[in-house]
Structure formats: C-alpha cells, structure tokens
Amino acid sequence: VIIQNNDIELVGNIIQSIAESFGITEIQTTAQFPREIAKLNDITEKLHEMYIMRDRLSATIAERSNSIKEMLVRAEDARTINQFRLMRKYYQKMHTLNQAMVAEHKIRCNNHEELLKVLRNLNKVIEQGSRLRVGAPASRLISACRNAIVEEHFDMLQKIILFGV
C-alpha cells in the first residue's frame, strides 16, 4: 500500500486507523517527508550546537570555581600573615569571579531551557515517525532514536525515522 501526502501527522493517523480497522498488530513502513527531515536536520543542528555550548560553559564554570578556591586560600594566607591589603585584593578578585560565575550560570540556565524546547520538538518528530509504524516496529524506532540521541549520533535519526529499524 502506498500513501502519498506531505503531512506526516495525517499519514500517521491513516496508518494507525488502517491497523485498528483491520486488526493488524505490526506494520513496518518507509517514508519520505522532505519538510519533516529538513525540520529534523535543523533541530539536530541546534541540539549539537547547544551540547557544545553546554560543555564549554561547564568547563568555564569549573575553571572559575578553581580560581575562586585559589583566591580564598591566598586571602586566608594573607590574613594569617597580617597583610590585610593583599587579603582585600584577593577577596575583591574572588567577588569579581563569583559575579562572573553567577552570570554564566544564568546563561547556562537559559541554554538549558532552550535545550528542553529543542528536545520537545525532537520528541514530537520522533513520535510522528513512530506513528507511521504499528507494534514492535514503532517501539524499535523510538528506542533506536533514544539511543542515537544519548550517543549523540544525530545524523542517524533521519535514517531511523525514514526507514525504521
């Protein structure tokens, strides 16, 4: 059976209705939805960029955290040898680093919120792709897509959704 339409949601609903009407427990399909694949490529590109940004922000925060610890040790050393100007200088540097960390944390929170939105959109595309199948093929597709996301093999998502597993 060949179903031709540009709307992945409509085709998914048709396949689900056919399976339900005829009591079919498994349907494996191949699909071609250029607009959805272009959307998927945009989503995975954004996702890849956001993962890179998240890793970079994590490294920067870890580096700043170590610098703050170092400033704290130096400030306490200066206090024990009664060098209060030096101690004050280290505490000021520590304060500046802390402010920078707070700003970076806000950026990281915004990045995380954007990442969640992108993942929701990706989940919607995966769900639409799974509705093109019935039974075990649909479950395998979802599982394969989740594994591809975890392993950051975003290029595989397109093939999995188009051809199944």
Quick one: pLDDT at residue 99? 94
Quick one: pLDDT at residue 110? 94
Quick one: pLDDT at residue 17? 94
CA distances from 6 to 30, 33, 35, 36, 116 (A): 14, 6, 8, 9, 27
Task: Say what angle helices 34-80 and 84-130 make with each other, to 10 degrees.
Answer: 160
Quick one: pLDDT at residue 6? 87
**Closest C-alpha among 98, 145, 99, 108 to residue 124:** 145
In order along the chain (165 residues), what is the average pLDDT of each group of 10 residues? 88 93 91 91 92 91 93 93 94 94 93 94 94 93 94 90 86
Quick one: pLDDT at residue 2? 84
Quick one: pLDDT at residue 122? 94
The CA-based dihedral angle spanning residues 123, 125, 129, 131, taken in that order and rounded to the nearest 10 degrees: 70
Quick one: pLDDT at residue 5? 87
Domain positions in the chain are 8-163
Residue 134's contacts (CB-CB under 8 Å, 6 or more residues apart) are 15, 16, 19, 24, 25, 26, 27
Residue 111 token pair: 């990045």
